[in-house]
Structure 1
C-alpha cells in the first residue's frame, strides 16, 4: 500500500478553489444578476429557489461522486446498467460540452466583455478570432491533466475573485437603489412563483450536471496530491465541495442583490450580461469595459478548462480509440465551431435539453447520496428513472423554441402534460411521478429483501 500524504489546510483550499473555478463560469455570473433584476422586491424567495438548484444540488453531486467512489458521470448511472450509464454520460458531456456549456463560456465573455469595445462591422470576425484564441488557451491549460489544479486553483480563480471583489465593494458602497423596493416582473409577483422560477433559473448554471462531470477532474487532481485510497479521495472531494459551493452561494447572493438594486436605474435586461455591463460601466466608466472583459474572460476560461478536461478524461476512459490529448483537441475545436453560432442561439436551444436532463440528474444524485438505505438496488433506480422519463420529455418539448413548442404536436403535448400532471405548469411535472416511482421501487426492494430472508430461513 502506497503511503498516504497528509493534506494541509492549504491543500484543501487549493482543491476547493479549483472546484470553485471549474463551477463558476459564464452562467454563474450573469444568471443570478439577471434573476435579481426580474425578481425585484421578491429577490429573497427567488434567491432561495435559485440556491437549491445552483448550490445545494451541485454540492450533492460532488457528495454523490465521493460517496459512490465514482470517477465520472458514468459511475453515477452504472446501477442502471452500462448502456444507460454510457448514454447518460454522453448526453451530459454533450450538453455541458461542445453543444451548449463550453461554447457559452466563450460567447458570454465576448458578447458582454469584448463586443462593446468593437465596431458592429467587426462583431462576426471578432467572435471568430476571440473564440479561436479562447479555446486554444483552454486546450493548452488542460494539456497536462495534473497541472489543472495549479492553473485554475492557484492562478486563474484568485485573479477572478479579486476582480469581482472590486465590483462588489464599489457596488455596495454606493448602491444604485434599495433591492426590496424594486418592482418584480411577471412570474415573480408572489413568493411561491418567485421560488419556483428561481429554482428553474438555477438550471441555467448547469452546475449539477457539471458537478457529475468534474468528478473525474477533481479525483485526478486529488490523487495528484499524493492520495491513493478511495476513502481518502472521497473525503477530500467532499470537503472541497463544501468549501467551493459555500463560497459560490455567497457570491450568488451578492450578485442577486446587486441585480435587484440596479433596477432603480436600469430596466431589466434580456440577460445578465447586459445588466453587468451597465452596472460596471456606471461605476467605472470606460475603464469598466476593460475590467468587465478581463473579469468575464478569466472566469469563463476557468470553467472551459474544467469542461474540456472532464470531457477528454471521460471519453478517453470509455472510448480509448483516441488519446486524452486527441479528445481534448476535438472537444476544443467542436466548442469553437458551436460558439460562432452566437450566444442567443446557444441559450435558446440549451433550455430544452436542460429541462430534460435536470430531472434525471436530480433523481440520480439523490439516489446516489442515499443508496446505502436500499443497498444500491437497481430496482429502486429503475422505477424512479422510468417514472421520470415521460414528464422530463414533456418539459423538454414545452420549452423548445416556438418552431417546435408552438407546432401542433408541441401544443398537443404541452396541453396534455399540463392537464394531467401536478406542478407541470411550473416546469416541475416530473416531481410527483418520480416520487411514485421511488415508492414503488422501495416497496419492491423491501419485498425482495424479505423474500430472500425467508428463503434462507
Structure 2
C-alpha cells in the first residue's frame, strides 16, 4: 500500500498526533504511582525510575506501533493469530481491566483521594465519596451517550492548564527541595532488584494495555494525514510518540524524584501515592493551588473516564451485539461506581494480580506483532511463545494475590516449586526466558515448514 501523502509531515502535524498519544496514556493514576515508587525506592530512585520508564513509557509506545505494523483495529486483531477464542478472552480481560473493574473506577477514586478528600471532614468522607462518584459516573454516562466535539475541545483547554499548574509545582520543588533524594531510606523490596521492581510498578499505569485497546485511533489519525503505508505509518507514529512520551517520561522522573525527597517530611503513604501527591501539592501551592488542582483534575478525569467507558461499550457491542452500545455503557458506569466506592487501596490490591497475569501476554503480543513481518505473522510462532509463558504468568498472578489467598498452604507449596525451577521467579520475571525459548522453537518450526 502506497502513501497518499509522500511529503514529510510538518512539525504541527507531529504535535497533533503527539498530543493524541499523550491524552491516550496520561491519566490520574499516572500521577500517584510514580510518586509512590519514589517513596518506596528512596535513595535507589534512579534504577527504579529506569525500570518504570521501560514499562510505563517505552512499552505503551511499542503497543501503538504494534497496532500500526500489523494494521490491527484493536485488541482482538492483535491476538487473532492465536485463534478467535483466545482473542475474545484476551479482549474481554483487557477491556474489563481498563473498564469497570479497575481503570475506569480508578479515575474517580484517585480524583477523590487527591483532589476532594482533603477538604472533607473525616466523618463525612464515605458519604462524600458516594455522592462524588455518583455525580462523576452520571456525567460520564451522559457525555459518552452521544460524544461530541465539545468534549475534545474541553480536553484541549483543560490538559494544558492542568500541566501548567503541575509544572509550576515542579519548578518550586526544584527551587526548594523537600530533601536530598540520595540520602533517603530504602524500603525492603527496593534494596535489591530496584530496576525490576520499578518495571513491575509501571504495570499499574495500564498504558501498554491502553495502547493495544485505543492505539488504532492514533494510527487512523496518521492515516488521515496520508501516511497509509504500514512502514511509513509506524515511522510517523514513532516520531510523534517520541514527542509525547518524552513529556510523559519527564513527568515520571520528576514525580519519582519528588517522592524520594518527600520522605524527609512525610511518611510513605498507605494509599499508593494519593496522600503523598496531596501533601506535595499542598506544600508548594497551598490550599488555593490545591483547590484549583482539584477542579482541573476532576474535569480532566471525566474526559479520561468518557474515553475508557465509550471504548469499552463500542468493543463489547461489536463483539457481543445482543446488548446495545448504551446498555454496555450503562453497565460499565454502574459497576465502575460500585468498585470506585470500594476505595483506591482495594482497587490496586486486586488489580495487581490481574496485571501480573495480563502484562506478560500483552508484552509478548506487542513484541511478536512488531517483529511479525519477519515470520509473516505465522500463528505457530505465536502459539509456541504464548504456551511457554502461560504457566509462569499464572504463578506470578498467584504470588501477587492478597495474603488471604497467596498465603494458603497449597499455593505456597506450588510457588516454592515454581521458584525452584524457573530463573528470575523471585522478582516475578520468570516468564521471560520461557518466552524466548518458545519464540525460538516457533521460528525454527516456521523456517522448517517454509
TM-score (norm 2): 0.92
Evaluate the alpha carbon distance shift between residue 218 and residue 99 of structure 1 in structure 2; reply closer, same or farther with a 3 A threshold.
same
Evaluate the alpha carbon distance shift between residue 216 and residue 138 of structure 1 in structure 2; reply closer, same or farther with a 3 A threshold.
farther
Structure 1 runs (4+) deviating above 6 angstroms are none
Q: Residues 246-285 of structure 1: matches in 2 within 5 Å?
A: 246-270=246-270, 271-285=272-286
- The gaps in structure 2 that reach 5 residues or longer are none
Q: Contact conserved, 1:179 with 1:261, CA < 8 A, in 2?
A: yes
- Cα deviation, residue 274, structure 1: 1.0
Which stretch of structure 1 is more off in the superposition, 326-335 or 104-113? 326-335
Q: Residues 348-359 of structure 1: matches in 2 within 5 Å?
A: 348-359=349-360
Give the distance between the partners of 1:64 and 1:149, measured in 2 at CA: 28
- Cα deviation, residue 388, structure 1: 0.6
- Cα deviation, residue 229, structure 1: 4.3
Q: Residues 204-353 of structure 1: matches in 2 within 5 Å?
A: 204-219=204-219, 229=228, 231=230, 237-270=237-270, 271-353=272-354
Give the distance between the partners of 2:121 and 2:253, measured in 1 at CA: 35
RMSD: 2.4
- Cα deviation, residue 360, structure 1: 0.4
Evaluate the alpha carbon distance shift between residue 266 and residue 78 of structure 1 in structure 2; reply closer, same or farther with a 3 A threshold.
same
Give the distance between the partners of 1:280 and 1:169, measured in 2 at CA: 12
Structure 2 match to 1:116: 118
Pairs aligned (count) = 445
Q: Contact conserved, 2:222 with 2:228, CA < 8 A, in 1?
A: no
Evaluate the alpha carbon distance shift between residue 121 and residue 339 of structure 1 in structure 2; reply closer, same or farther with a 3 A threshold.
same
> Which digits, 9 at most, give the CA deviation of each residue in 1:42-97, with x for residues without a partner?
11111101111001111100110111111111111011111111110110011111
Q: Contact conserved, 1:46 with 1:198, CA < 8 A, in 2?
A: yes
Evaluate the alpha carbon distance shift between residue 301 and residue 275 of structure 1 in structure 2; reply closer, same or farther with a 3 A threshold.
same
Structure 1 match to 2:187: 185
- Cα deviation, residue 249, structure 1: 0.8
Which stretch of structure 1 is more off in the superposition, 420-429 or 125-134? 125-134
Give the distance between the partners of 2:401 and 2:304, measured in 1 at CA: 26
Give the distance between the partners of 2:337 and 2:154, measured in 1 at CA: 21
- Cα deviation, residue 124, structure 1: 1.9
Give the distance between the partners of 1:90 and 1:235, measured in 2 at CA: 30
Q: Contact conserved, 2:64 with 2:216, CA < 8 A, in 1?
A: no
Q: Contact conserved, 1:106 with 1:300, CA < 8 A, in 2?
A: yes
Give the distance between the partners of 1:129 and 1:265, measured in 2 at CA: 33
Evaluate the alpha carbon distance shift between residue 143 and residue 157 of structure 1 in structure 2; reply closer, same or farther with a 3 A threshold.
farther
Evaluate the alpha carbon distance shift between residue 242 and residue 43 of structure 1 in structure 2; reply closer, same or farther with a 3 A threshold.
same
Structure 2 match to 1:374: 375
> Which digits, 9 at most, give the CA deviation of each residue in 1:120-153, with x for residues without a partner?
2322221122112222333344445573882465
Give the distance between the partners of 1:162 and 1:185, measured in 2 at CA: 32
Evaluate the alpha carbon distance shift between residue 261 and residue 23 of structure 1 in structure 2; reply closer, same or farther with a 3 A threshold.
same
Give the distance between the partners of 2:412 and 2:284, measured in 1 at CA: 46
- Cα deviation, residue 434, structure 1: 0.9
